[in-house]
Structure 1
Amino acid sequence: MRHPGTVLTDHVFSVPLDHSRPDGERIEVYAREVVAAGKEHEDLPWLLFLQGGPGHGSPRPLGPESWLGVALRHYRVLLLDQRGTGRSTPVNRQSLALRGGAEEQAAYLAHFRADAIVRDAEAARRSLLGERGKWSTLGQSFGGFCTLAYLSHAPEGLKECFVTGGLPGLRVGAEDVYRAAYPRVAAKNAAHYSRYPQDVEAVHRIVEHLAGREVRLPDGSPLTVERFQTLGMLLGQGSGSDALHYLLEDPWIRGVAGAELSDTFLEAVRAQISLADSPLFAALHEPVYAQRSVSSLGTRWAAERVRGEFPAFDARRALAAGEPVGLTGEMIYPWMFDTDPALLPLREAAQLLAERGDWPDLYDTDRLAANEVPVYAAVYHDDMYVDRKHSLATARAVPRVRTWVTNEWEHDGLRVSQGKVLERLTGMARGEV
């Protein structure tokens, strides 16, 4: 298939659900090969793109735009739909219902973390490049987590790695992740309210309205105070503060009973907070931090437990004190599985995942300490989603990791920088920077 400036080829790989049981159940993993038009017959090096998430499919390119255009100057790119996403064997409330009860569903979901994604990538590499072929990787956000798992489990398949906003803490548990995250989210709230001081009152009025009555979104699901607060997820993106402000600037309409939140506003909120298109993100968001050598207790809804340590996110307390209401960030809470229709059928399975304590380790610190694969990583100084201190500690622990620390871009810099972030990293790899 051809798009302007690119040639696209579909690939489907049959892989074991459980790579430790190669003769067991199999699933399909889809990937889209992209090459610059006119170069499709050239012997180009390969670049595997590892998407952020977990639980999001790879980008659907319309041509050589943004970072992809930069990559296509040098590479043949493989956009991998990580298992369970996109055109790979799907995972959602509909497909999980075929697995049986909550225990069977949880056991199935446990096979969709970074370690399994790496094994899938290795199957794709061997199929496309042969046993001895090596490729480069580009990991955005959670894709960086997958990169460190790749370096831990199969570095022999890697030529070089690029990471954007995704160097994970190697021995950092879920509680530590969120204990570090809430202050960063609070700082983003403060910056937003400083930029748009009128939004303090706008959020107060909406929260008071939600606290005093039942409000439902157009899909019929409840909009609670806590669910409204998850709009803070926007604050970690380059233009997210502006998007949030525009969302808040005209939420009201006069109805039969007086002022109420308009359907236009409620639909815009639903589009932001619904996880119908990424249920794996909800089910596996905390388990991606779980490693039995770090904690044998399980994640146990760490974001919810740690939240109480930060009163700025107690909306009712903030209202009573006349303080700005803190909006939350990249956190998954157990009540989401009661309020989001797409997550409700996954509630019991998600609880079992939260209670599980015997998660295999994702990162081999001994192997990483002997790393020989060059890694070029953009670390965003003010990243709301991934802690800069955790990222830099990992960079110090793993040889041949070279970092570029910048506050020019937010977490979505790879996507919104018109290729400048990837240009910088590939320039580092070529010795130009």
Structure 2
Amino acid sequence: MTSYRQPGLVLTDRHFTVPLDHADPAGEQIRLYGREIASGTRAGAELPWLVYLEGGPGFGARRFAGKQAWLGRAVQEFRVLMLDQRGTGLSTPANRQTLPLRGGPREQAAYLTHFRADSIVADCEAVRRQLTGGARWTVLGQSFGGFCATHYLSTAPEGLRTVLITGGLPGLDVGADDVYRAAYPRMRRKNEGHYARYPQDVDRARRIAEHLAQKRTVLPGGYVLTPEAFQSLGILLGTGDGSHQLHYLLENAFLRTAGGEELSDTFQEAALAALSYAAHPLYAVLHEAIYAQGHGPTAWAAERVRTEFPQFDTAKALAGDGPLLFTGETVHPWHFETDPALRPLREAAELLAARTDWPPLYDTGQLAANEVPVAAAVYHEDLYVDTAHSLATARAVCGLRTWVTDEFEHDGVRAGGARVLDRLLALVRDET
């Protein structure tokens, strides 16, 4: 273990070994990384543990600098473990560079079936037993981390002291098609809100899409910016300042050159930073698989369901006089053609999209009998997680208390910092 300091904090690097397949504990092992964080004034004290599960899938735990966001509040009473979920961060990585070590696409796809919430929760239990000596801990799950926390409640409640969920109560019995049928209307409403705030962006977005339709545009590093890929910038609209970020990105789009009007380097770099999956490829490869549990193959649900909402069709938007609509948290097969970080994983992704035997993730009987204190922040009109699905789940989990708010977007636990964590802790302690 290596320990070091940041202002007001003591951090310790932790490494763990867990089975790739928890059903075969003697089989192949992988490595997990977690960063232990404690207050500098209480580093040697006996403190209860809180494990943070990041959103995604496919993102390593956030790298804070000091007591940012909710962390300063958490270390007042907890010893925090920022766990890089399997395949992310400093845990055994899974990406275009490492997956060929498994073999071909079929072997890669088989390997990746072990990277959903069920395996992540089994990892947490293995880590908890090593780290706490068997004591229960608190889970803070953001977005997909909340999906993992709900699976945790379903399968291993004996390991849980308290569960806190932010923007991540999943639908218990909805498939990927249901998720996207609910999502596209929310995306439309987010677009309407953005264009109402920044009406000048209607023309800017159309001009950019028209340019991309007429001229093949390859961003630095090889990302092909098609009109549909450009629409994916709508993923920004789900965060507290995302509409403003999108506006500033669009206003820098064009400049005059010796060869005529071109997309600026500034725009291209910003678009690449927002669109590339190089740092989190599992987000794309496994995104629809996180909803798969007995509903048949996901079969590129976001792409199929999109045809039911023709207002998102780029060609139709440009042929008419309506605004171009940005999309949100959707992954499409063409992402595996436009993004060089995903191209080598296309065949494995196709196999995962065709898979029909995904096991269920949630035990409704266990959740109905839940005895673990649980509180969840549900963000009204959350772009990424449907509010109606979340509230239905809240009613299905015994004792779960909700805080439904439109004060924050999906990133409320970061943007709202201590206030969000404070509110959830008060709820589970019956202090409010």
* Structure-1-length-normalised TM-score: 0.98
Paired residues of 2:252 and 2:266 also in contact (CA < 8 A): no
Corresponding residue number in structure 2 for 1:110: 113
CA distance in 2, matches of 1:179, 1:308: 10
Amino acid at match of 1:59: R
Matched, 1:189 2:155: no
Aligned to 2:214: 212
Q: Is the 8 A contact 1:218 1:263 kept in 2?
A: no
Cα deviations by residue, 1:122-163 (Å, 9 ceiling, x for unpaired): 0110001123x1001100000000001101111000011000
Q: Which residues in structure 2 correspond to 1:226-265 (within 5 Å)?
A: 226-265=228-267
| Superposed displacement of residue 220, structure 1 | 2.5
Contact kept in structure 1, 2:413 and 2:420, CA below 8 Å? yes
Q: Secondary structure at the match of 2:97?
A: helix
The alignment partner of 1:169 has SS state of: coil
Other-structure match for 2:63: 60
Tell me the residue number matched to 1:49.
52
Give the drift of 1:215: 1.1
Name the structure 2 match of 1:318: 317
Q: CA deviation at 1:257?
A: 2.8
Unmatched tracts of structure 1, length 5 or more:
none
- Equivalent residues in 2 for 1:359-378, closer than 5 Å: 359-378=358-377
Partner SS state of residue 66, structure 1: coil
Q: Of 155, 158, 161, which aligns to 2:160?
A: 158
Pick aligned residue for 2:287 from 261, 281, 285: 285
Q: 1:29 aligns with which of 21, 28, 32?
A: 32
Q: Could you say what secondary structure the match of 1:79 adopts?
A: strand
Partners of 1:352 and 1:66 lie apart in 2 by: 39
Alignment of 1:71-82 (within 5 A): 71-82=74-85
Gap regions ≥5 residues in structure 2: none
Aligned amino acid, residue 259 of structure 2: A
1:284-309 alpha-carbon deviations (Å, 9 max, x no partner): 000000002xx1x2100000000011
| Partner of residue 93, structure 1 | 96
CA distance in 1, matches of 2:357, 2:98: 25
One-letter code aligned to 1:285: H
**Map of 2:181 onto structure 1:** 179
Q: 2:16 is matched with which residue?
A: 13
Alpha carbons 1:93, 1:346 under 8 Å: kept: yes
**CA–CA distance in structure 1, aligned partners of residues 110 and 44 of structure 2:** 43
Q: Where does residue 202 of structure 1 map in the other structure?
A: 204
Task: Say whether the 8 Å CA contact 2:401–2:428 is kept in structure 1.
Answer: no
Partner of 1:143: 145
CA positional deviation for 1:429: 2.5
How far did 1:255 drift?
A: 2.4
Q: Encode CA deviations 1:390-426: one digit per residue, 9 max, x unaligned.
A: 0000010110100000000000000011321111111
How big is each residue's C-alpha offset from its partner over 1:314-373, in whole Å with a ceiling of 9 and x where there is no partner? 111112111010100000001100110000000000000000000011111111111111
Q: Distance in 2 between matches of 1:239 and 1:30?
A: 31
- Deviations 1:180-212 (Å, cap 9, x if unpaired)? 000001100000000000000001111111111
What's the secondary structure of 1:303's corresponding residue?
helix
1:121 aligned residue (108, 120, 124): 124
Q: 1:49 is paired with a residue of what secondary structure?
A: strand
Amino acid in the other structure paired with 2:284: A
Q: Normalising by structure 2, report the TM-score.
A: 0.98
Corresponding residue for residue 223 of structure 1: 225
Q: Which runs of 4+ in 1 moved over 3 A?
A: none
Secondary structure of 1:238's counterpart equals coil
Structure 2 counterpart of 1:393, which letter?
Answer: A
1:36–1:64: 8 Å Cα contact kept in structure 2?
Answer: no
138-147 or 260-269, larger mean C-alpha shift: 260-269
**Does 2:353 align with 1:354?**
yes
State the Cα distance separating 1:48 from its structure 2 match: 0.7
Q: Name the SS of the counterpart of 2:290 in structure 1.
A: helix
Q: Which moved more, 1:314-323 or 1:390-399?
A: 314-323
C-alpha contact 2:187 2:327 (8 A) present in aligned 1: yes
Counterpart contact for 1:251–1:265, Cα < 8 Å: yes
* SS class of match (1:382): coil
> How many angstroms does 1:11 deviate by?
1.1
Task: Give the structure 2 partner of residue 411 of structure 1.
Answer: 410
Give the Cα–Cα distance (whole angstroms) in 1 for the partners of residues 430 and 394 of structure 2: 19
Percentage of identical aligned residues: 61
RMSD in angstroms over aligned alpha carbons?
0.8
- Count residues with an aligned counterpart: 429
Whole-angstrom CA distance in 2 between matches of 1:218 and 1:100: 29
